[in-house]
Structure 1
Amino acid sequence: MPTFISDGLELSYLDEGAGEPVLLIHGFGSSKEINWVYPGWVKTLTEAGRRVVAFDHRGHGASAKLYDPALYHTRLMAKDAKTLLDTLGLPRADVIGYSMGARVTAQLAITEPATVRTAVLGGLGIHLVDGVGLPQTIADALEADSLDDVTDPMGRMFRAFADTNKGDRKALAACIRGSRQSLSRDEVASIQQPVMVAVGTRDLIAGDPRPLAELLPHGQVLDIPNRDHNPAVGDKVFKSGVLEFLAAHA
């Protein structure tokens, strides 16, 4: 995989297809492959005539690992996304983020509005405003000696996910502690781009999508039926809804 340099860090990315660019920003503990390649997003978008760009966040996948929580502020990760687009000579893109990646997408839409043509906030509803992301108990689970020592159900889920995918658990724990930024209602209201808020109807992590969409000047909701947080990523309703949204704002 090719790499680019952002903030002095070497970050891994992919660039496939041709056409109008779409930037994909993955969630916590995941990677460009886990979030976007394996569930079929890259195939779906390239077959729809789009150029697809995705990268591994700092601390994730094949990108540089960091252990200071302060280096995982979502604005720094949004800067990574902007740097990748600049590296590829892309002044603007449609941006799809999931979970933590949706927080980064929202930050990018605020700090670099000319860069974001449209945005999809997947797996994140009103907790963008009234929540600070995944609980810090996940960091404790990641730092436990073994999975057997973790009793918290959500902690066990993310610890098992990290173990399965050979994630750097120390780096991921630092990320959980450092990427807990919410936005104010005024900040959300300043996002002028068309935004789709897509959340599984059984998702207990994201928060209700409707109050968030109501705060957005050009927000709309996509319900992903009968899906909780992680399985919603690859759902066909999510994919088809995003394709319709992108086509409507081409």
Structure 2
Amino acid sequence: MQEFSSDGVRLAYLDFAPKTVDRGEPILLIHGFASNHGVNWMFPQWVNTLTRAGRRTIVFDNRGHGRSEKLYEPALYTPWIMARDAINLLDHLGIERADVMGYSMGARIAAHMAFAAPQRLGGLVLGGLGVHLVDGAGLPIGIADAMEADSLKELTDPMQIMFRAFAEATKSDLRALAACMRGSRHAMSVAEVAAITASTLICVGSEDDVAGDPLALASLMKNARALVIAGRDHNRAVGDKEYKEGVLAFLESLPR
């Protein structure tokens, strides 16, 4: 992976050229909590899907994740700071405007990016995040406690067990993730969400008990629609064929 400095924090990224004739804006992908560029976007074949569709595709590891620098102060993980990382990466690559897709925490970061720098976005895809963008601060704070437990065996709460097991599977820095969880929890206001002008597709699995209602979030936005991914929960929606087809159709519909 290549690296750059985002306001002094070392971040790792990959930049993939389209495999066919360029068909639109570059697309920047922002992964979720305890994940990384590989788990969220490479293994589920998103990068291959998008580059084959003619899209320059950029992935990176959020601060505290993957191959990027690990930080241990919650104040260094606000959604505004992490959205700034994404904007800094576009600056580093000389990209004036890009479509942006985030999943779960990555969708929260993408929404903050769309609000803070609307001129930098073409289309916006929010995956694994519905109305909890406004009526919830993010994953339960107990997830941070789960990262700090001595072992997985100590935990009894199903969501804590799920995220701790996932963090261990991705070989994450648990202390950095605890700081990230505490610092990144922030709900946007209805007014902030309503001010997002980018064309938006909100994609949530029908069995997702983490994201909140995608239709309710779409109703708060000026230019948004929802895609409910049938039979998928929060984790299994990521690589779903219906999700990919919906995103590709959405991207094709955007003005170039």
Same fold (TM over 0.5): yes
Where 2:115 maps in the other structure, the secondary structure is: helix
Counterpart position of 2:7: 7
Counterpart position of 2:252: 247
Where 2:90 maps in the other structure, the secondary structure is: helix
The letter for the 2-side match of 1:68 is E
Q: Paired residue for 2:113, among 108, 113, 119?
A: 108
Quote the offset at 1:129 in angstroms: 0.3
The letter for the 2-side match of 1:36 is W
Counterpart position of 1:126: 131
The letter for the 2-side match of 1:183 is M
The superposition leaves residues 186-245 of structure 1 with CA deviations (integer Å, 9 ceiling, x where unpaired) of: 111101110001000000000000111011100100011100001101101000000000
Quote the offset at 1:40 in angstroms: 0.4
Is it true that 1:63 corresponds to 2:68 in the alignment? yes
Quote the offset at 1:7 in angstroms: 1.6
The letter for the 2-side match of 1:15 is D
Counterpart position of 1:173: 178
Unpaired runs of 5+ in structure 2? none
Quote the offset at 1:165 in angstroms: 1.3
Matches of 2:2 and 2:247, distance apart in 1: 27
What TM-score, normalized by structure 2, do the two folds share?
0.97
Quote the offset at 1:164 in angstroms: 1.3
Counterpart position of 1:94: 99
Q: Paired residue for 2:197, among 178, 192, 196?
A: 192
Where 2:71 maps in the other structure, the secondary structure is: coil
Matches of 2:173 and 2:156, distance apart in 1: 21
Where 1:217 maps in the other structure, the secondary structure is: coil
The CA RMSD over aligned residues, in Å, is 0.7
Where 2:210 maps in the other structure, the secondary structure is: coil
The letter for the 2-side match of 1:9 is V
Matches of 2:7 and 2:148, distance apart in 1: 26
Is it true that 1:137 corresponds to 2:142 in the alignment? yes
Counterpart position of 1:78: 83
Matches of 1:180 and 1:198, distance apart in 2: 20
Matches of 2:142 and 2:117, distance apart in 1: 32
What TM-score, normalized by structure 1, do the two folds share?
0.99
Matches of 2:149 and 2:196, distance apart in 1: 39
Quote the offset at 1:140 in angstroms: 1.0
Matches of 1:118 and 1:165, distance apart in 2: 29
Unpaired runs of 5+ in structure 1? none
Residues paired across the two proteins, number: 250
Counterpart position of 1:150: 155
**Segments of 4+ moved more than 6 angstroms:** none
Counterpart position of 1:160: 165
Counterpart position of 1:40: 45
The letter for the 2-side match of 1:192 is T
Where 1:85 maps in the other structure, the secondary structure is: helix
